Structure 1
Amino acid sequence: MAQITYRQIKADVREKVMNGTFGLGQELPKEQDIALDYGCARATVNRALRELAAEGILERKRKSGTRVRQAPMRQARFDIPLVRREIEALGEQYRYELLSRAQTLAPGWLCSRMKLGAAVPVLHLRCLHHAGDAPYQLEDRWINLVTLPDARTADFTTVGPNEWLIARIPFSDVEISFSATSADAQLSRELSCAIGDPLFQGERSTWFEGAPVTYVRMVFRRGHRMTTRY
């Protein structure tokens, strides 16, 4: 018998909210109890409830459980984008390249940003995503090896770390920032632009239930334009 999916749990919980089985303000059972009822992993339940919370149906607070909202609230839903899909949507051929890989201890700035303890092992990857023959995005990625020890032996020569992470672990908290930067000598070589050229960059940090997962700095080729829709 096929195991139940998070989509099925999400649909079932939504229906119970709509028909009044779970009333307004009512606290839902604990995730582990719901998982036992459905015969699935707790992570499957967690994803279903997180998505319902993102849609404004549930309210989730750490250490105080999950409740049905007293009143619906519209929220922007954020999905981690895949650069492969961005490039293919432009009608370009996607190509991925791993530039460097190193296992080290998290530097001080990363410990501060990700709320890491001292001497935490991390995996540092620099990757280049191409659109056709031209560089499209430079991905400078740090993965917490305490949260994801499997990353030590993962093969990132053919699949980028972003795709690997999306398939491996969900996120419960995300912090994003966008800013302008200018190309230094290294970015000039990697993105085939002149030193000093203005570039667009994004930074994203993610956590899962309080555990730091990854930080990434993404620098796009000159002239990049970002469009979002909610």
Structure 2
Amino acid sequence: MTTPQPTGWQGIQAEVLRRVHAREWPPGHIIPGEVDLAAEFGCARATVNRALQALADAGILERRRKAGTRVAMYPVGRAVLDIPVLRQDIEERGHVYGYRLLEQSIMMPDPVSAQKLGCKTQALHVRAVHLADDSPFVLEGRWINLKTVPHAAEQSFDTLSANEWLLHTVPYTKIDVSLSAQAVSEEGADTLRLAPGAPVFTVERTTWDHDDPVTYVTLRYAPGFKLHTQIGG
């Protein structure tokens, strides 16, 4: 049975977005030109142009004259409230980025994390600290569902953070985010150079690929962190 061709610019937009999410076209990949895509989809070049421009306006694609159209390195970079690339966030604030892996192990998640992951088996646990000018910026505590992302078990996060690796390699379609002030644990306080129990800005985030939970992460920011976002033009 043949797969039906997308029709109309919205159908083409949906198919292009599917290929980006599935990493058939990974970040940085130059996609086929408008003429080739029009031939593939059996439509006018103007229809393809409209679909690609809509995705460019959303930050999914980057379009440059004579250089073609490529998948943005950080396709959700404009939605920084959803999933920021921590390295990029720190650098854009004018700091020198640093990173230190604290722990990486496969183990049974705690009950809260297991519920968030929909996981009854072992998961990958990663703890790391992201630095700004050699000072702690954010403490990352992350669980990765190995049923959804089995190849994460073989990935070393010594130099590349799980945050950045996941954004580069694993598609996601849904995000749940909670923001709060929480008392930092003794272990976290030592890493962030704070007194135990000090309140810190905390982000808890779960991502899914359709119905499959990908990762549950808790980010605890050092004092002085300021969250900024913009909605609308």
Identity %, equivalent residues: 33
Taking the aligned partners of 1:123 and 1:112, their CA distance within structure 2 comes to: 15
For the 8 Å contact 1:125–1:142, the answer to whether it is kept is yes
Q: Does 1:189 align with 2:185?
A: no
Give the 3 Å change call, closer, same or farther, for CA 156–185 of structure 1 in structure 2.
Answer: same
Query: CA-to-partner distance for each residue in 1:29-81, whole Å, 9 max, x for gaps?
Result: 9x8xx68xxxx7982589999x96x96xxxxxxxxxxxxxxxxxxxx956521
Map of 1:131 onto structure 2? 132
Aligned pair count? 177
Q: Residue 144 of structure 2: SS of its match in structure 1?
A: strand
Unaligned runs of 5+ residues in structure 1 are: 1-11, 23-27, 56-75
Structure with the bigger RCO (C-alpha within 8 Å, sep 6+) is: 2
Query: CA-to-partner distance for each residue in 1:162-219, whole Å, 9 max, x for gaps?
Result: 1110111111111000000122211211001122322100010000021110000000
Map of 1:88 onto structure 2? 91
Q: Does 1:170 align with 2:171?
A: yes
- Structure-2-length-normalised TM-score: 0.66
Q: Residue 22 of structure 2: SS of its match in structure 1?
A: helix
Give the 3 Å change call, closer, same or farther, for CA 103–227 of structure 1 in structure 2.
Answer: same
Map of 1:43 onto structure 2? 22
Query: CA-to-partner distance for each residue in 1:84-138, whole Å, 9 max, x for gaps?
Result: 1111112111010000111012332223223x242x2200010000001210000
For the 8 Å contact 1:141–1:216, the answer to whether it is kept is yes
Map of 1:106 onto structure 2? 109
Taking the aligned partners of 1:180 and 1:107, their CA distance within structure 2 comes to: 21
Give the 3 Å change call, closer, same or farther, for CA 46–173 of structure 1 in structure 2.
Answer: farther
Name the aligned partner's letter for residue 151 of structure 1: A
For the 8 Å contact 2:23–2:170, the answer to whether it is kept is no
For the 8 Å contact 2:21–2:172, the answer to whether it is kept is no
Taking the aligned partners of 2:177 and 2:20, their CA distance within structure 1 comes to: 29
- Structure-1-length-normalised TM-score: 0.67
Taking the aligned partners of 2:122 and 2:109, their CA distance within structure 1 comes to: 6
Q: Which aligned segments of 4 or more residues in structure 1 are displaced greater than 3 angstroms?
A: 44-49, 76-79
Cα RMSD (Å): 3.1
Deviates more, 1:143-152 or 1:77-86: 77-86
Map of 2:212 onto structure 1? 211
Taking the aligned partners of 1:226 and 1:41, their CA distance within structure 2 comes to: 28
Taking the aligned partners of 1:110 and 1:79, their CA distance within structure 2 comes to: 19
Name the aligned partner's letter for residue 175 of structure 1: D
Taking the aligned partners of 1:214 and 1:85, their CA distance within structure 2 comes to: 20
Name the aligned partner's letter for residue 199 of structure 1: V
